Amino acid sequence: MKLKSLQISGFKSFADKTTINFEDGITGIVGPNGSGKSNIIEAVRWVMGEQSAKSLRGGKMPDVIFSGSESRQALNRAVVTITFDNTDHFLATDYTEVSVTRKLFRNGDSQYLINQSECRLKDVLNLFMDTGLGRDSFSVISQGRVEEIFNSKPEERRTIIEEVAGILSYKQDKQKAEAELTKTNDYLDRVSDLIAELQSQLDPLEEQSSLAKDYLDQKETFDKLEKTRLVYTIDQLQQQNIKATSDIKDATQLVKQYQDKKTALSADVVHLKQERTELESQKDQCQAELLTVTKRYESLSGQQNLDSEKNKYQQQQLDQLAKTIKTNQAKLDAYQQQKTVLDAEVKKRQAEVTDLKTQLKSLSTRELQRKQKAIQAKIEQLQATYIEKMQAVAQVHNEQVNLKKSYEQDSQQQRHVNADLLKLEDNLNEITEAHKEQQRVVEVNKKQAELSETELKKDLDAYQKLAASQKQSQDSWLDAVRIYQQAKTRLETLSSSEVELRGFYQGVQNVLKRQADFQGLIGVVSDLIEVPDKYTKAIETVLGGQLQHLVTQDDQNARQIIQYLTQHKAGRVTVLPLSRIRPKQIPATVRQTILKQAGVEGVAADLVMTKPNLTLVKQYLLGNILIASDLKQASELSKSLPMRLKIVTLNGEIINPTGSMTGGVNRHQNAGLLTQKQIRADLQKQVTQMQRELTNREALVNDFKERLALAETKGTEQRQLFNKNNDAYKDAKTQLEILENQMQDLQRRITAVRYESGQNESLNRDFSTESERLNKQENQLKAELQDLSDATKDQKKALENLRETQEKGQKVTAQYQEKLTTARVQLAQVKANLASLTDNIDAVVKLLTADQLKQAQLRQNQQTQGSRRHVTQQELAENKSQIERLQKDLNLSKTKLSNLEKELTQKEQDLQRVQELSSVAADDLQAIQIKATHLTEQIDHALGALSEKYQVSFELAQQQSLAISQEQLQTDLKLAKKGLEEIGEVNVGAIEEYQRVSSRYQFLNDQKNDLMTSQKQLLETINEIDAEAATRFKRTFDKISVSFSKVFVRMFGGGKAKLELTDPDHLLTTGVEIKAQPPGKKFQRLSLLSGGERALTAITLLFSILEVNPVPFCILDEVEAAFDDANVTRFADYLRNFRHQTQFVVITHRKGTMVECDVLYGVTMQESGISKMASVSLEDVSRKETQI
């Protein structure tokens, strides 16, 4: 292989595309400093994969892109292509010509291409690996590289030998192997951890998976049966729905019939109520007219009675007046006769007095006569006064007699008036009592009517409320029935599950079914522990399948059970022999510490209850399990525990001793054994409570029905009572008004009689007053008469004295005087009698006149009353006829109203009955509609279940349904459901999870084995690599060391040199020390030589390497710059000697080197900052010179 060409574009100072073709032999590149010669070497290193911008004399990689000059703009990319002639296939590729291209853009993008095909940097590096070529190989030695050789440490210097020995690939393989080993160890650790974790999951998952598979098998059977059941159910429901539709039609027609009847009856009731209202109005009007006419009749009758009484009383008065007039007339006639006699007597007495006066006058003397005359005059005056007083007394006496007679007449009349008044008052009292009694009756009837009306309203309200309450109670009862039936059905289902051992594994079921056959079998764990509600979920979750473990007395009993299950292939069980199991406990010190921490409910074994002889079971199962309040507390508790314990929360989350957590809720999670046990207990309580509630509600419904019937009966009776009381009230009120009219009539009559009695009493009072006055007057007059009598006696005594004087002469005069006085007294007496009689006659005449006037007035009144009585009798007859008519009309109205009430009551009862029937029919219709809706919902639900749960249509389900009877279906379905419930809550995902975990566990085990195999293989590989590398290194080192010693002598012209290993026992890490002894000097290390000697020694080492391991080409960048001319010549000679086996590209300033070059390229900067190439073949030049 040889270097064919180098194409540069935009790399550093090579702005333009520049191509350098390399020939065999030595190619020299010359040019002034700063012209860009070294950029060619750097371009070669860059295209061969150099990644260090610093080694390319830049700060960052985009610095290699032409950055512009005074006359040129910066470029956006740099492209370098190096081409090799690979005819000998030195490079591991089938191509005979290989070009490698590298592109870099200013935005940082880059590309690598091999033969114009894009590739990776790694592909480029692999192309040159172990070929002695590459970016860091001795085939390309840039400026400073020689100094690195002699300035580097021995350990760093060994890389030269390694590159020559071709062990870089081994080192790289070792690094990869070591990296793989590290990764393998890491993977192995991780896989071991994962295997340990999976190992803890596999056992429960295996159990869950087995249970889930059993569940799925039974679920498949159950689903087939369930689909068949759904098909049967849908068929039955559709038939029932058809019947319900027909029933709805019939019920609708029945409701319509009842509705029509109710409408007709309602119309009849309304019509009858209107008619009743009209009849009541007519009755009230008739009663009002009857009352008015009755009042008028009673008034007229009373007036007639009053007029009759008055007429009777007036007739009595007339009769009395006739008697009085007759008596007074007789008195008057007697008085007239007496007056005639007295008139004659007065005349006679006057004649006697006149005669006596004449005789006395003739007898008296003048003086005596004067004295006597004076005395006599006085006496006469006194006598005259006495006579006047006597007349006054007589008059008063006559007045008293007349007054007494009049008083007696008035008293007799007053007695009649009083008798009439008493009679009238008695009648009034009777009527008043009757009125009061009637008022009481009216009030009683009114109160009874009002009370009846109130009671009627109350009864109607109560009936309506009772009807509403009865409906509400019936609805409540129906709700209670539904809840009770649901709870009872669920309880029966769960109880049936309990009887049929649902929820238990198949093996547990088979053992429990033959429990009597196994001696020493105590029972199943779930039945042997009592768990408070608070901890049910925690215990149920943490124990899981352990709840189905069987407990026996000893291991012999356990073996008997397992042998039976094995022989009959009846399932698997776990048995806990009390004689073998040991309690799990937490150390006392740890226990005390744990229980003091926040969130700890306690040790699980302490929170459940068992019989004393089974304490070992709960200690074995729960003795080392803690219950925490929540996951947060459990997590904190797990971190702080001094020992690893399983912790379960009240919500069922679990923290395992390994630190893993289990939690969450399945979407369809069945109740566990403990939960089912608790549910059954709760349902039993609910069913018992609902039974009592149902009994109470049913009794309440029946009570409401009875009360409603009673209320209806009571309402009807109350309405009849109200009508009866209302009629009685109206009749009593009418009778009361009649009594009031009678009372008013009697009160008017009594008032009239009392007025007359008052007049009589007034007259009596006047009589008393007048009688008293007359008595006083008479007494006064008598007193005055006594005084006059005494004065007269005194005068007479004086006159006696005068007479004594004139006894003798005046005896005759005295006698005449005495006679005269007697005559005068008699005359006065007669006159007084006459005056009294005259007064009596005047009084009798006055009385007679008054009586006659009164008699005439009474007769006129009788005529008027007779005429009025005739009119009244006619009006009474008319009123009586009208009353009889109105009474007939009223009785007819009452009869019609009573009949109407009966008809209305009957209609209302019919309406009520029809309403009840309509309500019942409506309720039945509603119930049927609800049933139809429920059936439709059930059908939809069943169809939905088929569609959603089984993804099949009804028709397809019919085709897939099993050909078995419903009884067999129910039995099989029950058994299948029992089987599912026996299995209980399962994690179906556990199958896949178990497979996944098992596969992963197996995979990880395989991985572990593979990793362990890989680990072993990698260790073996590393050992092999180390051995091969050490062998190659030692072999190459020995060759290079021998070659180095030889080449050194040639290069220095004598002396000696050698390569030494710093640690020969460890060939993989040993360093390489260079020792040299130039001619004339002692043997010493490279670092102690001069600069030129070190450089030449380094070049000697390079040439030694080329002898041992020739490379196709070698690029040297001013490596001989520090040589003197003699060493340059030796250097050039050596290049010339190797030109046939190695192609050299030399960048140099030394003429000795240039002379040996076959081709020279000149690098110039004709344009500032831009490098240009010029080439010349020295052989051609030499040939031309020879020809010349």
Q: Element (H or E) spanning 44, and its range?
A: helix 37-47
Q: Are 976 and 222 in contact (CB under 8 A)?
A: yes
Structure tokens at 928: 């049927």
369 Cα distance to chain centroid: 149
Q: Are 34 and 1132 in contact (CB under 8 A)?
A: no
The residue to which tokens 């009757």 are assigned: 434
1041 labeled part of a ligand binding site: no
The residues, any chain, with a CB within 8 Å of residue 1122's CB and separated by 6 or more, are 1091, 1092, 1095
AA letter at 1089: L
The residues, any chain, with a CB within 8 Å of residue 282's CB and separated by 6 or more, are 893
305-341: b (≥16 Cβ within 10 Å) or e: bbbebbbebbeebbebbeebbebbeebbeebeebbee
311 labeled part of a ligand binding site: no
Structure tokens at 514: 């033959």
Q: In whole angstroms, what is the distance from residue 929 CA to residue 171 CA? A: 91
| DSSP per-residue letters across 1038-1067 | HHHHHHHHHHHHHHHTS-EEEEEES-TT-T
Q: Are 788 and 828 in contact (CB under 8 A)?
A: no
1091 labeled part of a ligand binding site: no
Q: In whole angstroms, what is the distance from residue 117 CA to residue 135 CA? A: 21
887-898: b (≥16 Cβ within 10 Å) or e: eebbeebbeebe
> CB pairs under 8 A, 24+ apart, for 968-977?
969/225, 969/228, 969/229, 969/232, 970/229, 972/225, 973/222, 973/225, 973/226, 973/229, 974/496, 974/500, 976/218, 976/221, 976/222, 976/225, 977/222, 977/502
The residue to which tokens 């490098």 are assigned: 1171
Helical axes 966-983 vs 366-499, angle rounded to 10°: 90
274-290: b (≥16 Cβ within 10 Å) or e: eebeebbebbeebbebb
Q: In whole angstroms, what is the distance from residue 838 CA to residue 817 CA? A: 30
**CA dist 1127 → 118, 843, 1050, 1159 (Å):** 45, 216, 11, 22
AA letter at 11: F
Q: Which of 1172, 1177, 1182 is nearest to 1160 (CA)?
A: 1177
The residue to which tokens 């192995």 are assigned: 188
Number of neighbouring beta carbons within 10 Å of residue 1187: 6
Q: Which of 414, 298, 1158, 1009 is nearest to 768 (CA)?
A: 414
For 169-215, strand residue ranges (E) read none
1090 labeled part of a ligand binding site: no
38 labeled part of a ligand binding site: yes
Q: In whole angstroms, what is the distance from residue 314 CA to residue 756 CA? A: 12
State whether residue 111 is helix, strand or coil.
strand
745-754: b (≥16 Cβ within 10 Å) or e: bbeebbebbb
The residues, any chain, with a CB within 8 Å of residue 134's CB and separated by 6 or more, are 48, 49, 125, 128, 140
Q: Are 538 and 548 in contact (CB under 8 A)?
A: no
The residue to which tokens 């569940």 are assigned: 215
Q: In whole angstroms, what is the distance from residue 714 CA to residue 97 CA? A: 127
Q: Are 1030 and 1066 in contact (CB under 8 A)?
A: no
37 labeled part of a ligand binding site: yes
The residue to which tokens 């304490």 are assigned: 615
35 labeled part of a ligand binding site: yes
760 labeled part of a ligand binding site: no
Where is the binding site for ATP, in residues? Answer: 32-39
Where is the binding site, in residues? Answer: 32-39
